[in-house]
Amino acid sequence: MAKFGGGISNLVVLIMICGLIHGVPAAIYTVGDSSGWSIGGYGSWASDKSFTVGDTLVFNYAPGHTVDEVSPNDYQSCTTGNALTTDSSGATSITLRSAGQHYFICGVPGHCSSGMKLSVNVVAASGGDSSSKTTASPPTIISPPSIAAPPRTTDFPPSTTISPAPSAGASQHLTRPSSSAVLFTPKVVVLSTITIVLLKFFL
């Protein structure tokens, strides 16, 4: 019984570990915190943070700015006009969907060179992102060996009917004829009839 209880405990621990690996919610980071997305440097802001696939970056900024995701070269040179994505809504949310380095700048001329740029290194989630997952083959189901049923025989022994023997209790209720009673068998009846006829003939 103790061994069974230990197995249950191990199973519970395994389920908890799986929940920690696959059930960790994605983080949401507000770029620049309360300062938002504005002219200034963001290297120190990103240096103490760990970005994982599935996390979200929120850019809050005033009108007159943009959020452009750019290539590494355009990030280094602050080149605008070749953005991979761009938004100027004032509240841009970008979900980090792949591992690797991601680069963001403000597309307004002069703003990137003034420090309005951000580079984040994104790592894969603990369970692995969807791009690195391989499709597992379905498990092989091994059927137990089939046991052939014995052949059915069609020859049956002749049935015999066995009459039940009278029980001892039933035999107690049988009435035996008394010794003084006359048994009216067919032979007695015939003899009696002949006797009566002869008596009438001679009398």
Q: Tens-of-pLDDT digits for all 203 residues of the chain?
A: 445 445 545 544 444 454 444 555 789 999 999 999 999 889 999 999 999 999 999 999 999 999 999 999 999 999 999 999 999 999 999 999 999 999 999 999 999 999 999 999 999 987 544 444 333 444 444 455 555 555 565 555 555 555 555 554 444 444 444 444 445 556 656 667 777 777 776 66
* pLDDT in the model for residue 135: 38
Residue 34 lies in a domain: yes
How far apart are alpha carbons 65 and 83 in whole angstroms? Answer: 14
Residue 118 lies in a domain: yes
* pLDDT in the model for residue 115: 95
Residue 139 lies in a domain: no
From the list 92, 116, 113, 95, the residue with the least C-alpha distance to 104 is 116
Residue 1 lies in a domain: no
* pLDDT in the model for residue 131: 42
Domain that holds residue 70: 26-129
The CATH number of the domain holding residue 82 is: 2.60.40.420
Confirm whether pTM is higher than 0.85: no
Count the domains in the chain.
Answer: 1
How far apart are alpha carbons 164 and 166 in whole angstroms? Answer: 6
Is the CB of residue 107 less than 8 Å from the CB of residue 78? no
Characterize 125-161 residue by residue with b for buried, 16 or more Cβ atoms within 10 angstroms of its Cβ, and e for exposed: beeebeeeeeeeeeeeeeeeeeeeeeeeeeeeeeeee
Residue 177 lies in a domain: no
Is the CB of residue 50 less than 8 Å from the CB of residue 31? no
CB atoms within 10 A of CB 108: 16
Residue 41 lies in a domain: yes
* pLDDT in the model for residue 14: 47
* pLDDT in the model for residue 162: 53
How far apart are alpha carbons 87 and 69 in whole angstroms? Answer: 9
From the list 87, 95, 83, the residue with the least C-alpha distance to 58 is 95
Give the distance from CA 104 to its chain's centroid. Answer: 42
* pLDDT in the model for residue 125: 84
The beta-strand segments (E) located in the chain are 28-30, 51-52, 56-60, 67-70, 85-87, 91-95, 100-105, 117-123
* pLDDT in the model for residue 180: 43
- CA distances in angstroms from 153 to 37, 148, 150, 158, listed in the order given: 90, 15, 9, 14
Residue 31 lies in a domain: yes
Residue 67 lies in a domain: yes
